[in-house]
Amino acid sequence: MYPRVILKATLYKKSQQKRRTSPCNYKERYFVLNTEELTYSERRPGKKPIEKGCIKLSDITCVEVVRSNVPIPCEFKYPFQVVYDSYYLYVFAPDNDCRLKWVRALKEVTKHNEVSLYYHPDFWGDGRWRCCDRPQKQSAGCSEYFPSECASKKPLPPTPDPQRRVSTSEDRIVVALKNFVPQEDTDIPLHKDEEYVVIDSSEPNWWRVKDRDGNIGTVPFLYITEKHSKDSFKSFKSIEDYEWYNKDIARAEAEALLMKEDKEGAFMVRDSRQAGVYTVSVFTKAPGSNGEKNPRIKHYLIRETEKSLFYLAEKYLFPSIPELIHYHQHNAAGLITRLRYCVSLDTGNGPRMKELTSERWELNAEEITQGEELGSGQFGLVFKGLWQGQAVAIKTIREDAMSEEEFKEEAEIMTKLSHPKLVQLYGVCTQRSPICLVTEFLENGCLTDFLRSQRGQLSQKTLLGMCLDISEAMAYLESSNFIHRDLAARNCLVSKDLVVKVSDFGMTRYVLDDQYRSFTTKFPVKWSSPEVIKFSKFSSKSDVWSYGVLMWEVYSEGKLPYEYRSNMEVVESLNAGQRLLKPRLCPETVYQLMQWCWKEKPEDRPSFALLFHDLASLDDPMSPGHFQL
């Protein structure tokens, strides 16, 4: 019997880069799905089709939509993935309906296969999975995979329509800031950028929401945001509404205005001399290809494809000019600099839209006053400052030090983390260069320096109190599903009342320094658990290991752990089962807790909630400690 054809269509596919050296590219292919295989071929007018690939359906382990916000450099913008034999085939459909049709059909014909339990909802790129940050391409997925729609926990409505909204106008809508994998039976998954209706927001950390298929469950409050702050483009009508657009301005006048601003990345959009065409004018001091360094203005025409998609220097295509500008406000992508700072002639005719990028965490540069320098950090200089009448720390970020785009994606989540023992991140200022983070200011500075400066003067009560403060902050992060990844005394700060607060949570994810990222000289091996050193497997339990080392730092009054050993020697001694020795000032009961944190297997280590509880009971002499190893 011949195989029966189920679907056929012209789609795009991304090369699979099976060989490391092959360039990544996108090709138009004619796809045919029949009851036995999925084939794709090259079709050229007047020539015989050439089959370029054939996947046996029995080899397929996962078929799913790719949920990503990376710009897609081919004309078809709706990706889905077919995983087979550990290869990932990414296919791009022209619209969502077409994509869902293919995904459903492929799921249907492969649902009796031995499918994956988990999959990666986002692309692999730049050496990591964009969804979960894991650096191994073959790592298990991070989201539960449902082989067919009816296999998901609750049945879908009869005719699922992805654009359909289940809400009424009175519903409170939130949007997922990132994916979330359920951890309890009562949780539901979150998919980045999808909308949910709020059912119950009375619990501060966990809200109950309803997804578009009617599933109701809890999700972490940190991972969601009220819809209006995300709904940037849809409600705006014409480009005249935008602050960056200057109607009726001549090239010379635009140049004069931008030169007067004298800020790297100052830009505006204006009418070009060609009717109906727009130009982006940008101020820069960056060296040009011929070595020129003088401040100058570069002009880029906004071009349009036959399919009414817009682009600037390189072919990053967008359905509208505001979306194009928004993208280039975050990515240079072929421009001399990204569009940092919009300049406009104040025409005074009615309200203009405020800065498009302004999100809740974006602070107004004019409200921040910079004072004395406090020190130098991993990302750049740190200054004392004033913002809204309060003392703040301003952490400037060197341009080459941080992956800014990824940081901004997470910035809202980080500003929402709020606890008395956590250094509050007030917001970010991206309108100035270098960009900066504005945080709570703590008078006594970094914990390591403080411990060293107070050697011999700190009481047992103070030392225990410090450990207790940190465990309290960490129990909060743990309950919020947030991993610190670089917990150490150098990343804690001390207030004027000697309260210790945890700082720099999650920030290492944005470090661009190769010596840090490649686990060489700058990676904090001495604070890292064995599973982090071996497999980069970060979790709250790897934070617990680091916390044990941090307790050791506190009780040794700011000594460097494993002082005379190299990172390599530390790894070897850990592998041999050795651990840091008890500091002289450390009571046996506290050392037992440290050793509990340094259990080889993450699951054998205590949670922060338990650590906090046990330390608190040590603080109270009436109550017996109840920790166990």
**Site residues (vs ligand ADP, CB under 6 A):** 374-379, 382, 393, 423, 439-442, 445-446, 491, 493, 504
Provide CB contacts within 8 A for 608, sequence distance 6+: 471, 474, 475, 477, 478, 540, 543, 544, 547
Element containing residue 368 per DSSP (H, E): strand 368-376
Cα separation, 299 vs 301, whole angstroms? 7
Pairing state of beta strands 310-311 and 341-342? Answer: unpaired
The nearer residue to ligand ADP, 110 or 415, going by C-beta atoms, is 415
Cα separation, 105 vs 129, whole angstroms? 26
The pair of three-digit structure tokens given for residue 29, joined into one six-digit string: 């292919």
Rounded to a whole number of angstroms, the minimum distance from the CB of residue 494 to ligand ADP is 9
Cα separation, 551 vs 566, whole angstroms? 21
Pairing state of beta strands 310-311 and 37-42? Answer: unpaired
Rounded to a whole number of angstroms, the minimum distance from the CB of residue 160 to ligand ADP is 47
The nearer residue to ligand ADP, 230 or 421, going by C-beta atoms, is 421
Rounded to a whole number of angstroms, the minimum distance from the CB of residue 573 to ligand ADP is 26
Identity at 257, one-letter amino acid code: L
The nearer residue to ligand ADP, 125 or 375, going by C-beta atoms, is 375
Peptide bond into 189 cis (omega under 30): no
Catalytic residue among 122, 469, 486, 504: 486
Element containing residue 619 per DSSP (H, E): helix 608-619
SS3 per-residue string spanning 250-273: CHHHHHHHHHHHCCCCEEEEEECC
Cα separation, 435 vs 263, whole angstroms? 13
Rounded to a whole number of angstroms, the minimum distance from the CB of residue 480 to ligand ADP is 20
Instruction: Give burial (CB, 10 Å; 0-12/13-18/19+) of 372.
Output: exposed
The nearer residue to ligand ADP, 108 or 440, going by C-beta atoms, is 440
Residue whose structure tokens are 């008890």: 582
Cα separation, 26 vs 28, whole angstroms? 7
Rounded to a whole number of angstroms, the minimum distance from the CB of residue 479 to ligand ADP is 23
Among residues 296, 291, 307, 223, the alpha carbon closest in space to that of 254 is found at 296
The nearer residue to ligand ADP, 446 or 586, going by C-beta atoms, is 446
When CB distances to ligand ADP are compared, the closest residue is: 377
Q: Are 190 and 178 in contact (CB under 8 A)?
A: yes
Rounded to a whole number of angstroms, the minimum distance from the CB of residue 373 to ligand ADP is 9
Tell me the DSSP string of 129-150.
Answer: ETTT--S-TTSPPSEE--SSGG
SS3 per-residue string spanning 308-337: CCEECCCCCCECCHHHHHHHHHHCCCCCCC
Cα separation, 449 vs 493, whole angstroms? 9
Among residues 543, 529, 532, 524, the alpha carbon closest in space to that of 480 is found at 543
Say whether 95 is catalytic.
no
Rounded to a whole number of angstroms, the minimum distance from the CB of residue 67 to ligand ADP is 32
Pairing state of beta strands 341-342 and 266-271? Answer: parallel
Rounded to a whole number of angstroms, the minimum distance from the CB of residue 455 to ligand ADP is 18
The nearer residue to ligand ADP, 302 or 414, going by C-beta atoms, is 414
The nearer residue to ligand ADP, 178 or 501, going by C-beta atoms, is 501
Q: Measure Cα distances from 414 to 422, 428, 482 in Å.
A: 11, 10, 9
The nearer residue to ligand ADP, 327 or 527, going by C-beta atoms, is 527
Cα separation, 290 vs 68, whole angstroms? 38
Q: Where are the alpha helices (DSSP H) in 417-535?
A: 447-453, 460-479, 514-517, 530-535
The nearer residue to ligand ADP, 183 or 376, going by C-beta atoms, is 376
Provide CB contacts within 8 A for 10, sequence distance 6+: 28, 29, 30, 31, 43
Rounded to a whole number of angstroms, the minimum distance from the CB of residue 387 to ligand ADP is 12
The nearer residue to ligand ADP, 243 or 440, going by C-beta atoms, is 440
The pair of three-digit structure tokens given for residue 143, joined into one six-digit string: 């989201």
Rounded to a whole number of angstroms, the minimum distance from the CB of residue 476 to ligand ADP is 18
Q: Are 462 and 497 in contact (CB under 8 A)?
A: no
Residue whose structure tokens are 């850990």: 574
The nearer residue to ligand ADP, 376 or 515, going by C-beta atoms, is 376
Reduced to 3 states (helix: H, G, I; strand: E, B; else coil), residue 54 is: strand
Rounded to a whole number of angstroms, the minimum distance from the CB of residue 383 to ligand ADP is 9
Residues serving a catalytic function are: 486
